[in-house]
Structure 1
Amino acid sequence: MMKIGNKRKNPRIVVIGGGTGLPVILNSLRKKNTDITAVVTVADDGGSSGIIRDYINVVPPGDIRNVLVSLSDLPDVYKKIFQYRFDSKDQFFSGHAIGNLIIAALSEMDEGGIFDAVQKLSKMMKTQGNVYPASNTSLVLNAEFSDGSTLAGEAEITAAKKTIKQVWVTTTDGTEPEARQEVIDAIMQADQIVLGPGSLFTSILPNLMIKNVGQALCNTNAEVVYICNIMTQKGETELFSDADHVRVLNTHLGQNAINTVLVNTEPIPSNYMDRQKYDEYLYQVRYDFKGLREQGCRVISDNFLLLRNHGVFHDGDRVVDELMRLTGQMHL
C-alpha cells in the first residue's frame, strides 16, 4: 500500500545514506523550509576514516564530517578549515582531514560516544537540522557473493569486484548492531524518508541492515523515496537496472518498502566521462519502468543529470524540487 507523508508547512524529512551522494541532497534541501535529519553510515573502513578507526577505535568520521559541512551555517572559511586534508609531505598527518581528527577527539572525550559527540559538534558548526550516526559503535560490513564466498570490510568488499548477493552488519565487539532511539524516533515521526543517492551495498544498505532501523523504515507512515543512482558501479551494481536496485533494497528489508523512485532518464553524452578519474563507474543505469511498477513503486522519471568536470552527478536542486512536490511543498 502506498504511504503518503503528512502535508505540513515544514515537512520532516529524514535522509539516510553516506558517501558523496548524501551531501548533494542535503546542500539543496537546507535551502527549503524543512526539518532535516541526516542518518549517516558508520561502516566505512577506507581512507583517512579507516586509518583513524584502526588506530583509536572510533566510528569512522569521514561521511559524518561531510554531512556536518553540508548543513553548517558557518562562514565558508571555517568549513574549508574543517575539510582541509593534509598532503603527503606531512607524513604523520598525511591524508587526514582536520574534521576527521576533531570528530575522533570529541568522541574520545565524550563518554556518550560518537552520537553525543556529533550533537555537540553540530551545535559548534551551527548545522541546520540533525546529524545522527546510524550507530553509536563502529560497524563492520559483511557480504556474501554469488559464488558463495564471504568477505568483511567495505573496502575489501568493493575491491573484490564480485557480484554481491547480500550484505549485513556486525559490531566489532560482537553485540547486536543497534541505532539510538533518536534515529528510530526521527524515522517514525517523518513525513518523508529519502534513501540515496549513493552506493547501494556500501552506503545505503549498511544503515538499513541495523535491525531496528530496517524495522522502523518498514513500519513508518512516511513515504519512502529512493533516489536511484545514475551510473552502475564496479564491484557492486554492474549491469543493474533501476528496478534491480529497488529489488535489492526490498529483498534485504523483507518487503516492498520503497514507495517512490526517482530515476534519471537523461542520456549521458558519449565520451563525456573521464574514465580514469571516475574509474568505479561503468554504464548508465538501465531504465526498467515495468520492473519498478511490478514492485508497487510510484515512478518519477526526469532529467536529474548534472554534468561537471567530466563527471556525472545528480542535480541536487532538481531532485529536491521533486521531493518538495511529493510533500506538497512545491513553492517552498
Structure 2
Amino acid sequence: MGKRIKPKIIIGSWVFLGVIGILFITLGLSSFMYNLVMTNSHTNFKMFFTITGILLVLISVKISIRSIINAVKNNKPNGNIGKEELNKMIYKDRMLSKGPKIVAIGGGTGLSILLRGLKEYTSNITAIVTVADDGGGSGILREDLGMLPPGDIRSCILALANTEPTMEKILQYRFKEGSLKGQNFGNLFIAAMNEIYGSFELAIKETSNVLAVTGKVLPMTLDDVTLYAVLENGDIVAGESNIPLKNKEASSKIDRIYMKPEITYPLAEAVEAVKEADIIVLGPGSLYTSVIPNLLVNDMSDYICESNATKVYIPNVMTQPGETDDYTVFDHVEAILKHGCKDLLDYIIVNVEKIPEETLEKYKEDGSKPVILTEEDEKKLKKLNIKVIKDNLIEVKKDYIRHDSLKASEIIFNLSKEKQR
C-alpha cells in the first residue's frame, strides 16, 4: 500500500477540530454576560462564535467516538486494548476509509477470495454478486422459500466481514445429517433474515450490519432470473447448474448466454456505485455462470462502459470443465466483450506463474488445465487497446489453486493510484 506513515496521535485531525471549537466558545463567552446585560450591539456576533464552537466540539466528539467504535468493531480484539494498539486500529480504519472506490463484480469462490484481499487496501468496496444460482443448498432454498439464492452472497459477506473465527466457522458450517443435510448454516441465516424483514435486499443489509462488513454486498438484481446457454451446436440449456453438465455431455462450446425474464433491473445502489467507482473489477470466477450474468441485467453493461472508472478483468487461473474447456486468456475476454460492449475493459490481470505438476494432476483428472496467455492473445488484446498485466498470482492451499488475493489486490490498488496522478 505504499509507504506507511507512523501514527503519532490517537485522534489526530478531530482533536484539532475540537480545539478550534473550544477557542470559538471562549471567544463567544468572553464578557458575553456583560454585553448581554449592558448592550446588545455585539450579542449576535458573540452568540455566533459560541454556537459555532459548541457545534464543532460536538462534531469532534462524535467523530472520535465513531472512529474508536469502528476500529474496535472491525478488529474484534480480545482482552484489553493498549493505547498503541488502539492508535494503530483507528489509524488503519481512517486510512482504509480514504482508499479507492472499488466495485467488484462476479460471484462464487473467485470473487469472495479477491474481496478478502481488497479489504486490506480500502473500505470503499461494493461487491455486485450474481443471483442466478439454482443448484445445491441455495437452489433448494430458492425453490422451497421462493427467495433469491443466498450462496454467493453469503460467501462475499463473510469475505468482507470483520468477525470472530468461531462465528465464521458457524456460518460456513454445512449440515451432514438429517433433513438439513447439505444445507449451509449461513444460507439458513440469510433465509431467516429474509423472512423477518420481508425483503432480500434488507436481509442482506441487516446481515452485513450484524457481521460488521467492510463496504457493501449487493445482489445483481432482485428479479428471480433463470440463466440459459446457447451452445454452438444449437442446443439451449436452462439453469445455471445444468450449463456445465449439459455442455460437457454435448461436447459443444457455449456460444452465448441470456436470462429470463429478459427485462431485469439492477439495484439503484449498484448503479450509483458503478458511476462513482475509481476501479471496476470483473472476476475472477466462472465466466458464463458468475461473471457474465451481471452484464445481462438491463443497462448494467452500458453503465460500466460509460463510467469513468478503470475497468479490469481477472480471468480464472484454470479452465472450467463444461464451461471454458481449452479457453485461452483471449477467449475469456472475447466472451466478456460479446456480452458487454467493445470498450468494456482497460486492463486484464493474468497469472504467468508456473503451477507445480503434482498440483495439476488432480485438475487434469477433471479435464481442467491452466488458462494460457499466448503471443497471439497479446497481439489481439493490443489491437483492442486492452493492457495486459502479467504477474505470479497463484496460491495453492490443500491442493486447490486460487488467486493470491493480496497480490491481485495490490495490483488493483496501484492502478487506482496511477489513475489519481
Fold-level match, TM-score > 0.5?
yes
Is 1:35 the equivalent of 2:35?
A: no
The aligned counterpart of 1:77 is 166
Is 1:19 the equivalent of 2:108?
A: yes
Q: Distance in 2 between matches of 1:24 and 1:329?
A: 24
AA matched with 1:66:
S
Question: Pairwise mapping of residues 90-239 of structure 1 onto structure 2 (< 5 A)?
Answer: 90-111=177-198, 113-160=199-246, 161=248, 162-171=252-261, 176-239=263-326
Q: Distance in 1 between matches of 2:141 and 2:321?
A: 26
Aligned to 2:368, the other structure's residue is in SS state strand
Aligned to 1:232, the other structure's residue is in SS state coil
* 1:18 to partner: Cα distance: 0.5
Aligned to 1:301, the other structure's residue is in SS state strand
More helix by share: 2
Query: CA distance change for structure 1 residues 94 and 279 in 2, over 3 Å: closer, same or farther?
Result: farther
CA RMSD of aligned residues (A): 1.8
Q: Distance in 1 between matches of 2:412 and 2:240?
A: 30
Instruction: Give TM-score, length-normalised by structure 2.
Output: 0.72
The aligned counterpart of 1:246 is 333
* 1:281 to partner: Cα distance: 5.6
* 1:214 to partner: Cα distance: 1.6
Unpaired segments ≥5 residues, structure 2 = 1-96
Aligned to 1:142, the other structure's residue is in SS state strand
* 1:195-249 Cα deviation digits (max 9, x unpaired): 1110100000111111222221111111110012111111111111111111110
AA matched with 2:139:
G
Q: Distance in 2 between matches of 1:26 and 1:265?
A: 21
* 1:280 to partner: Cα distance: 5.0
Q: In 1, are the aligned partners of 2:360 and 2:369 still within 8 Å (CA)?
A: no
- Larger relative contact order, structure 1 or 2 (CA cutoff 8 Å, min sep 6): 1
Q: Distance in 2 between matches of 1:235 and 1:248?
A: 15
Work out which of the two has the higher radius of gyration on C-alpha atoms and give 1 or 2: 2
* 1:96-130 Cα deviation digits (max 9, x unpaired): 1111011112223323x211210111111110100
AA matched with 2:237:
L
Is 1:67 the equivalent of 2:153?
A: no
Query: CA distance change for structure 1 residues 58 and 284 in 2, over 3 Å: closer, same or farther?
Result: same
Q: 1:311 aligned to 397, 400, 408, which one?
A: 400
Query: CA distance change for structure 1 residues 279 and 329 in 2, over 3 Å: closer, same or farther?
Result: farther
Runs of 4 or more, structure 1, over 3 Å off, are 278-281
* 1:189 to partner: Cα distance: 0.7
Q: In 1, are the aligned partners of 2:230 and 2:256 still within 8 Å (CA)?
A: yes
Q: In 1, are the aligned partners of 2:228 and 2:237 still within 8 Å (CA)?
A: yes
AA matched with 2:210:
M
Q: In 2, are the aligned partners of 1:231 and 1:283 still within 8 Å (CA)?
A: yes
Question: Pairwise mapping of residues 220-299 of structure 1 onto structure 2 (< 5 A)?
Answer: 220-275=307-362, 282-287=368-373, 288-299=377-388
The aligned counterpart of 2:90 is none
AA matched with 2:282:
L
Q: Distance in 2 between matches of 1:179 and 1:279?
A: 39
Q: In 1, are the aligned partners of 2:193 and 2:203 still within 8 Å (CA)?
A: yes
The aligned counterpart of 1:4 is none
Is 1:49 the equivalent of 2:135?
A: no
Q: Which deviates more, 282-291 or 19-28?
A: 282-291
AA matched with 2:147:
V
Q: Distance in 2 between matches of 1:34 and 1:127?
A: 9
